[in-house]
Structure 1
């Protein structure tokens, strides 16, 4: 799944929100969210780790912050202002072809948008690139380990963070969209040794948002999420551009499978936009997907304020 980018147009407001959340801050007021919390996904060494990577580093490329050689999975928790907080939360899976992670375009900026609609945005820094021993025809298993554990970990913190444990979603872009689809269809399949009380909780997301996902066209792939869609798959929102090099048929196929299984879903295929547009403003129709997604979340009653 190639990962190209669009120019950084009109993004300063979004980046400003993300950076404001990332810097040291005074305690939250009714109008001001708290500084983000960073925690490890695993209580010790991550399972399934093989081979040796160079140290984690950001590649010297613009206009996207690309993180490489991820071996230390973390969650960065961005909370909305208390007076906006709905109690819903979303684990965000940045894209990058399972090679790198687009940490700002498809991570921090997405958390800022979610905060603006009252949702806790939780950026998952999952392991990339693929490890030694991964068959060429399969996706790496370590990212799926990380996202399964992340969903459970968020549920385990629901009382502490004042979240609704029945409104924990996943949102992913490109390869992160494939990972979110896998999380939504393989939640009953433990892919790592269960470690502690956190692992007794459900790994099933309550809803999913897939933006220009890949990896679902070839139904002969053993780990294609389409093969595991069932009535238990959570409701989904999907968006893609018709001129994307990562074919929109990925999203069309998922939507079709969901409808056949009786799972609520909404699909938007935009005329233009290419790949990797994130939610940065542009003159392309694909830039409207965040508003459409917000409307879908409200229709599904996922943004109903907590008691």
Structure 2
């Protein structure tokens, strides 16, 4: 057995020794009444392009505000899906891509409040812990997209298990996860890995996409410097930067996209959402843009009393208009 393979298996063994095991049912937090959740690897064995020397999994606690599940993952060896099943499934599902500037993935080991809200609406929610290019995976900048496509295919291949209609799967993403959401919306058909099992013939195109305070452009001055550096390397040339600017290549088969941003976002310029909206408009893709005056980066998705906020309810209306089975007033 190669040393790389041993290192990968060591990472998997470490996960198996942790309190939350891949594939084991977890208690879904919150009062949404959703069924027990689970967490499992998306690849059978090593993910494609394991770098020489392997990758050692790492997660760190992000805050000291009393949330024991507020993690960031600077290194991901085993990409995972966390599933939050709907107690009364409508047949719809949503796949979420967390942010982190492609330097880390900001997500816990249990379903987030957003996933629990979707599950409470009858939409089975999935959150993806995806790999990062800086760990040296051979696909480079396409590494996160490999995981995004694979996750969508795994969801559809196993849809009956969760009461999901394979044709009724949406995606949402936040910050750099918004870039990944835009990437799968526009590059769902790109061949970024060789098929590994019977799940891979499944379509990776989402029914509808929601990009929240997203990184979109990789070309300065709109580019988010950290995301650009982590995805493309320290000195990407103009051609590479353009190739990974989601707004510059919006094909005719791109699904409908909702964009939401705060004008005072000091981390990711709201011009990213404007640029994506213009890219969709030029390609005649149904799109909706919401820019609020104040809110900063990561504007709250919930009101202080726990109700879904403006952006989630607007996404629900937009997604319902475009076929997602989610309850929505005014859809």
Question: TM-score of the superposition, structure 1-length normalised?
Answer: 0.80
CA-CA distance at 1:45 after TM superposition = 0.2
Alignment-derived partner of residue 210 in structure 2: 209
Alignment-derived partner of residue 82 in structure 2: 76
Q: Partner of 2:135: helix, strand, or coil?
A: coil
Distance in 1 between the 2:216 and 2:276 partners?
Answer: 11
CA-CA distance at 1:197 after TM superposition = 1.6
Instruction: Return 5+ residue gaps in structure 1 as ranges.
Output: 1-20, 26-30
Among 279, 286, 289, the residue aligned to 1:257: 279
Mark the CA change 1:277 to 1:50 in structure 2 (over 3 Å): closer, same or farther.
farther
Among 288, 298, 304, the residue aligned to 1:276: 298
CA-CA distance at 1:274 after TM superposition = 0.8
Q: Partner of 2:264: helix, strand, or coil?
A: coil
Among 54, 57, 60, the residue aligned to 1:55: 57
RMSD: 2.8
Among 219, 239, 244, the residue aligned to 1:223: 244
- Single out whichever of 290-299 and 235-244 deviates more from structure 2: 290-299
Question: TM-score of the superposition, structure 2-length normalised?
Answer: 0.75
Deviations 1:245-283 (A, max 9, x none): 201111111111112212111110010111123524369
Structure 1 runs (4+) deviating above 6 angstroms are none
The question of whether the paired residues in 1 share the 8 Å contact of 2:76 and 2:131 is answered with yes
Mark the CA change 1:231 to 1:33 in structure 2 (over 3 Å): closer, same or farther.
same
Q: Partner of 1:98: helix, strand, or coil?
A: coil
The question of whether the paired residues in 2 share the 8 Å contact of 1:94 and 1:107 is answered with no
CA-CA distance at 1:107 after TM superposition = 6.2
- Single out whichever of 220-229 and 151-160 deviates more from structure 2: 220-229
2:239 is the counterpart of 1:237:
no
Mark the CA change 1:126 to 1:107 in structure 2 (over 3 Å): closer, same or farther.
farther
Q: Partner of 1:145: helix, strand, or coil?
A: helix
CA-CA distance at 1:81 after TM superposition = 1.5
Mark the CA change 1:22 to 1:45 in structure 2 (over 3 Å): closer, same or farther.
same
Alignment-derived partner of residue 189 in structure 1: 190
Mark the CA change 1:224 to 1:249 in structure 2 (over 3 Å): closer, same or farther.
same
Distance in 2 between the 1:133 and 1:162 partners?
Answer: 34
Deviations 1:8-34 (A, max 9, x none): xxxxxxxxxxxxx94289xxxxx9432
Mark the CA change 1:207 to 1:114 in structure 2 (over 3 Å): closer, same or farther.
same
Deviations 1:49-99 (A, max 9, x none): 2254443222353454323311110111101122xx211111111000011
2:117 is the counterpart of 1:117:
no
Q: Partner of 2:289: helix, strand, or coil?
A: strand
Matched residues, number: 273
CA-CA distance at 1:108 after TM superposition = 1.4
